Amino acid sequence: MNGMNGGVRCALIRGGTSKGAFFLATDLPSDPTDRDDLLLRIMGSPDPAQIDGLGGAQPVTSKVAVVSPSAEPDSDVDYLFLQVGIDAATVSDRQNCGNLLAAVGQFAVERGLVAAGPERTSVRIRMVNTDGLAVSSFATPGGRVEYDGGTAIDGVPGTAAPVALDFADTEGSVCGSLLPTGRLLDRIGGVEVTCVDNGMPVVVARAADLGLTGDEDPADLAADTTLTDRIQALRTEAGALMGLGDVTGTSVPKTTLVAAPAAGGAIRTRTFIPLRPHPSIGVLGAISVVTATLLDGAVGHELLRLPGDGGPLGVEHPSGALQVDVVLDTSTSRPRVRRSTVIRTARPLFDGTAYPRP
């Protein structure tokens, strides 16, 4: 790089409890190999500290969103999510990210892909990774995106404007069916699991079955190498059962350990992506976990505490709780997902030029 030449237009945005680099597709190479090479150099990978790039040295801060106008009649923009490896030179498109999704609509408005409404704007987003559809609705008073507001989400300091995310057609988005193994229960290495895919492939297991309470600090979980080996064994065998093939080097399926709630929520969770303990929980991961625990006979169903008012379910995680609403139809022989909704917030951190490592 000569001086300040050779940069790429980029916005760094916090979406939910993640943050990532947002790009227009036209600002990146069209060839996936060239694109991924550029993104690795922009994010500073491979390097455990990502010291020479934008990445924050943990999975929730090593993310990329690529946005473009959609050619599909039922959507306004396409959103491709890419999980960038930290200490490995990998770029994965095998899953969505519901947290970064919370900022895609606003980014589309800011870049002129979608016109803002006079008070509120709803953006129909096609999630390219799984071909699912989400609608993001947020305030745009006077035709400008409003980021300030009074909504707090656990895992993020302060408050911001709320973003409503409504999901459709997320059932089986990666694996092809809600219960990819065809069963509510599987036993792997002597541990009962439920394999589910409602927007994110997740292996759900009881924390107690791995000798845990579900209240452990993520740092303590990360230091337990025996646990890490057991999580890898669970997800590797589960991945094959779910039709995902060899998942040894991939970021899906995620693994979530569940326990009875301890802070007034519906279920307590500790999630691994794929082996690092998550400081909170992903949006689509939480939706999949709630979906599983709502099914009578699935792992965690007996631990679930439904709210008395019929409102959203609080998914407890290390940083607090995420409110999730999943509507299931269990009147047929095969349960179907009718609707999934979450409330998130988003905030731009910078908009400018990113300079890749040579």
Please say if the pLDDT value at position 1 is more than 60.
Answer: no
Q: Which CATH number belongs to the domain containing residue 283 in this structure?
A: 3.10.310.10
pLDDT in tens, 128-178: 998 889 999 999 999 999 999 999 898 899 999 999 999 887 899 899 999
159 and 230 part of one domain:
no
25 and 161 part of one domain:
yes
**294 vs 328: CA distance, rounded Å:** 8
pLDDT at 3: 59
Query: In which domain, by residue range, is 227 found?
Result: 186-334
Q: How many domains does the chain have?
A: 2
161 and 36 part of one domain:
yes
Closest residue by Cα to residue 218 from 292, 71, 319, 291 = 319
107 and 161 part of one domain:
yes
pLDDT in tens, 257-306: 999 999 999 999 999 999 999 999 999 999 999 999 999 999 999 999 99
Asked if residue 29 lies in contact with residue 51, where contact means CB atoms within 8 angstroms, the answer is no
164 and 24 part of one domain:
yes
**283 assigned to some structural domain:** yes
329 and 201 part of one domain:
yes
Please compute the mean of the pLDDT values over residues 6-32 and round it to a whole number: 97
**341 vs 171: CA distance, rounded Å:** 13
244 and 110 part of one domain:
no
75 and 125 part of one domain:
yes
Pairing of strands 336-354, 8-15: antiparallel
Share of the chain above pLDDT 70, in %: 99
114 and 246 part of one domain:
no
Continuous segment of H or E residues that includes residue 193: strand 191-197
Q: Which two tokens stand for residue 134?
A: 């989400």
**212 assigned to some structural domain:** yes
65 and 153 part of one domain:
yes
Please say if the pLDDT value at position 2 is more than 70.
Answer: no
197 and 293 part of one domain:
yes
13 and 115 part of one domain:
yes
Strand partners, 326: 340
- Report the chain's mean pLDDT, rounded to a whole number: 94
**213 assigned to some structural domain:** yes
pLDDT-based confidence at residue 62 (cuts at 50, 70, 90):
very high
Q: What is the dihedral of CA 151, 317, 221, 92, to 10 degrees?
A: -70
CA angle 256, 284, 300 (to 5 degrees): 35
